[in-house]
């Protein structure tokens, strides 16, 4: 009798370990973002999309079909009241739109044309640095 119980426990242990490993892997995939370090180590990147739009922020090259950008900004064209004057451009932090999105975005890799590191002295990087410092002090 003792031998059959031990043999039964041994047979149940292998599938139990497999199920346990699967559950652990599933939990890790859901919890951990699987993000790789950014392109060249700069604080901010510009992500150019195939549709002509550009996002600025902290780029994370993730495993899977999507890349992630956090602290997202984009350039918005503002029409001038003078029809002869070209539209002005301003940089806008994502999140203030009507639908209230978070300031991070997942982008399909197929939509990304290329990614560039921003120099710390670029106008966009300086603006983002000042904006984030201002938000942190509030």
User: For 46-50, 51-55, 102-106, 108-112, which range has the lowest pLDDT when averaged over its residues?
Assistant: 102-106
What does the pLDDT read at residue 31?
Answer: 59
Dihedral sign computed on CA atoms, order 103, 107, 113, 116: positive
64-114: pLDDT as tens digits: 899 999 999 998 888 877 878 888 888 888 887 788 888 889 999 999 999
C-alpha Rg value of the chain to the nearest Å: 24
Q: Domain locations in the chain?
A: 1-32, 35-136
**Separation CA 59–CA 89 (nearest Å):** 23
**Separation CA 103–CA 96 (nearest Å):** 9
What is the third-level CATH fold of 35-136?
SH3 type barrels. (2.30.30)
Contacts of 36 (CB under 8 A, 6+ apart): 60, 61, 62, 63
What pTM was estimated for this model as a whole?
0.66
């Amino acid at each position: 009798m003792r031998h059959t119980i031990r043999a039964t426990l041994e047979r149940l242990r292998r599938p139990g370990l497999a199920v346990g490993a699967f559950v652990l892997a599933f939990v890790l995939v859901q919890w951990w973002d699987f993000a790789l370090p950014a392109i060249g180590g700069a604080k901010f990147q510009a992500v150019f999309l195939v549709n002509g739009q550009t996002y600025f922020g902290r780029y994370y090259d993730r495993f899977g079909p999507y890349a992630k950008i956090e602290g997202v900004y984009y350039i918005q064209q503002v029409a001038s009241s003078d029809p002869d004057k070209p539209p002005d451009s301003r940089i806008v932090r994502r999140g203030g739109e009507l639908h209230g999105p978070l300031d991070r975005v997942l982008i399909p890799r197929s939509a990304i044309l290329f990614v560039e590191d921003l120099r710390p002295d670029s106008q966009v990087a300086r603006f983002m640095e000042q904006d984030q410092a201002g938000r942190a002090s509030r």
